[in-house]
Amino acid sequence: MLSREENAMFTRVGPDTPAGSLLRRYWHPIGPAEEITPEKPKKRLKILGEELVLFRDAQGRYGLIGEHCPHRATSLYYGTVEDDGIRCPYHGWKFDVHGKCLEQPFEPAGSGFKEKVCQTAYPVQEMAGLLFTYMGPNPAPLLPRWDLLVREDGFRKIVVLPVHNCNWLQAMENSVDPTHTYFLHAHQFKARGMAGGDYYYRPIEKLEFEEVRGPLWAGVLKKRTYADANEKETEAGHPLIFPNMLYAPQGPDLVIHWRTPIDDTHTYIVWMTFRPSAQGERAEQSERPPVEYLPQLTTPEGEYQMTSFASQDMMAWETQGAVFDRSRENLGAADRGITLYRKMLREQIKVVLDGGEPLGLIRDPEKNRSVHFEVSRGQAREEYTKTWSASYHDRQAG
Ligand code: FES
Ligand SMILES: [Fe+2]
């Protein structure tokens, strides 16, 4: 259980909030690069409670700047993208990708006024077809080269989920809640006569959690021991990558899940899936993987479908409330992964508020060639993977 104050400290993401300051120290995905095209070189988006405009100027540089013009606050999204920046639709002030004001058409020449005005701007980098931004203080850490983004022995796919109407922490606490797979997933599938969750339909005998504190990444490793009638099996892996990612096997694929807070009550979720090639051979794939947008996870009547992992998880997270009031929860022994993750959050928020550098930032390019995670699959999961006829997202699409 958390006090109301501490719950607010963990869940609020705006500028100058404690969790918002921590989250701003990491790179976050803001969408597939292919969403920005020469025909539509701009996109409006909200990240960490800030209203922003993403654009690509005619020189091919990405900019992510505050949406509201510093002159009279009109939306720059409706502006014109030019060779070297974006021009406000109201009075024509122009800003480059760094937020520098380049022109103020109706101000006296040489007044020096444009040097006094600048717009909020954040760096944008593309990796594996995804655009990422960093909204914290300079110097920015390196954009981590997670192995799934840079491996060449398989195929990548980007999957964008419908926006989740809940606070980011609800999705993240689920990532250190390994018992939920039994009822929320396996049992729900079974109850509907569907295959897909059998692997998780086994009693869990033992749960272990291990805190990882670098050097390349920080987070929580989970280990669960299943106790079937005649076999025991321990499976380790599926790390929660601090502060807002999950790395998990999913059928034959390896998947990174990012949960980017849009604001306190909405979360943008995107996955990078990677299917290793059969013999580990190099796969020919384009620099930008295909992108799939998962359709709605609710029925036309507005109920959760409950027929896919994603809709089951969405139900669990959204029905906790837009911002789950953790002063009303009752945590048990099986919830200690959540307690451990909150301990890290509490500690790392304090580090940032005290002016320090939080865990899991990479600054050495040598160490950033490919950041790899060990995932140990138990025998049963190997079998399960072999019999898995279509990947999770293929099922979703079907
Ligand atoms: S409001 Fe943008 S130029 Fe005036
Ligand atoms: Fe789940």
Instruction: Write down the pLDDT at residue 41.
Output: 98
Decide if 254 contacts 153 (C-beta within 8 A): no
Instruction: Write down the pLDDT at residue 377.
Output: 57
In degrees to the nearest 10, what's the CA dihedral of 306, 308, 309, 312? -10
Whether residues 123 and 188 share a domain: the answer is: no
Which of 69, 102, 134 lies at the terminal end of a domain, its last residue?
A: 134
The residue whose CA has the least distance to atom 1 of ligand 1 is 72
Looking at ligand 1, which atom is closest to the CA of residue 74? 1
Instruction: Write down the pLDDT at residue 382.
Output: 53
**Distance from residue 113's CA to the centre of ligand 1 (Å):** 14
**Distance from residue 16's CA to the centre of ligand 1 (Å):** 27
Flag whether 314 is in a domain. yes
The residue whose CA has the least distance to atom 4 of ligand 1 is 91
Ligand 1 in contact with 88 (CB < 6 A)? yes
Ligand 1 in contact with 77 (CB < 6 A)? no
**Distance from residue 184's CA to the centre of ligand 2 (Å):** 7
Whether residues 282 and 240 share a domain: the answer is: yes
Which of 134, 155, 179 lies at the terminal end of a domain, its last residue?
A: 134
Flag whether 76 is in a domain. yes
**Distance from residue 39's CA to the centre of ligand 1 (Å):** 23
Pocket test for ligand 1, best of 65, 75, 91 (most atoms within 8 A of CB): 91
Cα 296 off chain centre by: 19
Q: What is the CATH number of the domain that holds 254?
A: 3.90.380
Looking at ligand 1, which atom is closest to the CA of residue 72? 1
Ligand 1 in contact with 72 (CB < 6 A)? yes
Ramachandran category for residue 149: left, alpha or beta (phi over 0 → left; psi -120 to 50 → alpha)? alpha
Whether residues 151 and 126 share a domain: the answer is: no
Whether residues 100 and 164 share a domain: the answer is: no
Flag whether 113 is in a domain. yes
**Distance from residue 214's CA to the centre of ligand 1 (Å):** 46
**Distance from residue 104's CA to the centre of ligand 1 (Å):** 9
Q: In the chain, what's the furthest Cα-to-Cα distance?
A: 84
Task: Report the alpha-carbon distance of residue 268 to residue 259 in Å, rounded.
Answer: 6
Instruction: Write down the pLDDT at residue 250.
Output: 81
Whether residues 240 and 294 share a domain: the answer is: yes
Looking at ligand 1, which atom is closest to the CA of residue 88? 2
Q: What is the CATH number of the domain that holds 86?
A: 2.102.10.10
Instruction: Write down the pLDDT at residue 395.
Output: 37
Spatial neighbors of 13 by CB under 8 A, at least 6 apart, are 19, 20, 23, 48, 49, 168, 261, 263, 264
Whether residues 60 and 163 share a domain: the answer is: no
Flag whether 127 is in a domain. yes
Flag whether 31 is in a domain. no
The CA–CA distances, whole Å, from 60 to 57, 66, 97, 127 equal 5, 19, 10, 15
**Distance from residue 63's CA to the centre of ligand 1 (Å):** 18
Whether residues 177 and 71 share a domain: the answer is: no
Looking at ligand 1, which atom is closest to the CA of residue 73? 1
Domain that holds residue 53: 36-134
Whether residues 239 and 357 share a domain: the answer is: yes
Instruction: Write down the pLDDT at residue 380.
Output: 52
Flag whether 265 is in a domain. yes
Hey, how many other C-beta atoms are within 10 angstroms of the C-beta on 337? 22
Task: Report the alpha-carbon distance of residue 2 to residue 104 in Å, rounded.
Answer: 50
Question: Residue 70 CA: which ligand is closest?
Answer: 1
Whether residues 99 and 158 share a domain: the answer is: no
Decide if 4 contacts 327 (C-beta within 8 A): yes
Ligand 1 in contact with 125 (CB < 6 A)? no
Whether residues 229 and 253 share a domain: the answer is: yes
How many domains would you assign to the chain? Answer: 2
Which pLDDT tens digits describe the chain residue by residue (398 residues)? 999 999 999 999 999 999 999 999 999 999 999 999 999 999 999 999 999 999 999 999 999 999 999 999 999 999 999 999 999 999 999 999 999 999 999 999 999 999 999 999 999 999 999 999 999 999 999 999 999 999 999 999 999 999 999 999 999 999 999 999 999 999 999 999 998 777 788 888 889 999 999 888 899 998 888 877 556 677 777 899 999 999 988 878 999 999 999 999 999 999 999 999 988 899 988 899 999 999 989 999 999 999 999 999 999 999 999 999 999 999 999 999 999 999 999 999 999 999 999 999 999 999 999 998 766 655 555 554 444 333 333 333 32
Whether residues 275 and 340 share a domain: the answer is: yes
Order of all β-strands in the sheet with 245-250: 204-213, 218-227, 232-241, 245-250, 253-263, 266-276, 154-160, 291-293
Provide the angle, in degrees to the nearest 10, between the axes of the packed helices 4-11 and 336-353.
Answer: 70
Whether residues 156 and 302 share a domain: the answer is: yes
Flag whether 8 is in a domain. no
Please, which residues bridge with residue 247 across strands?
A: 256
Which of 107, 134, 161 lies at the terminal end of a domain, its last residue?
A: 134
Flag whether 140 is in a domain. no
Question: Residue 171 CA: which ligand is closest?
Answer: 2
Task: Report the alpha-carbon distance of residue 141 to residue 64 in Å, rounded.
Answer: 18
